[in-house]
Amino acid sequence: MLRRSFLSGLSGFQAFAFLQSPVATLRSWQAARHAQDDWFDENSAKHRVLFDTWNAERFPDAMQFAGNYLETNKTDYELPNSDLAVVIVFRHRTTPFAFNDAMWAKYGKSFSDQMKWVDPNTHEAPTANPYATRLAALSAQGIKFAICNRTTRAYSNNAAQRAGAKPEDVKAEMMANIVGPGHFVPAGVIAVTRAQERGYANISIG
């Protein structure tokens, strides 16, 4: 009623301009869909959540919170894991955590230098993925991994330069050696926004 009253006090041109304003048309906006992002919908889950990570120091928080999310939904809501779509994003300085022990044994020093991070226990560059076991356990519970392709390229280029190898060969090697079922997304930052457009709640870990 208030809206009709307001519009009745405007001229025809003013009313048309108001109705065409971003505020008036906001409710009708819908994000475009792209085939690269359709994997987000490959589930019948009742709830969707994404944990966005980019700082190596904070990565353990993502694993803890993701585990808590599954456990609490099971104990307090009686929801099986199949009712929950959970994605962890690996981008920027957390991307190497998506690769298995073989890649860390081969390129760990390169990873560590580029991440500006060392194992908090040894204060040295790891020769194995320090979180591989925990990530494998989360993967076994149905959690999916979204791995930044752009950052993977950057890490593989650096590792290849140090090893005197071809960048494309090292990148292919890394992509074939990940810790669990993962999806290489064009860019981590895009995956975060596309997931939200498809109904995923975003929890930024840092």
Going from the N-terminus, what domains does the chain have, and what CATH number goes with each?
37-204 (3.40.1260.10)
5 vs 188, higher pLDDT: 188
**DSSP label at residue 21:** S
Residue partners of 190: CB distance under 8 A and separation at least 6: none
pLDDT tens, residue by residue, 121-162? 999 999 999 999 999 999 999 999 999 999 999 999 999 999
Token reading at 91: 């981008």
Q: Which of 142, 162, 144 is nearest to 98 (CA)?
A: 144
CA distance 98 to 140: 15
Q: How far is CA 129 from the centre of its chain?
A: 19
pLDDT tens, residue by residue, 48-86? 999 999 999 999 999 999 999 999 999 999 999 999 999
Report phi then psi at 73, rounded to 5: -65, -30
**DSSP label at residue 41:** G
**DSSP label at residue 172:** H
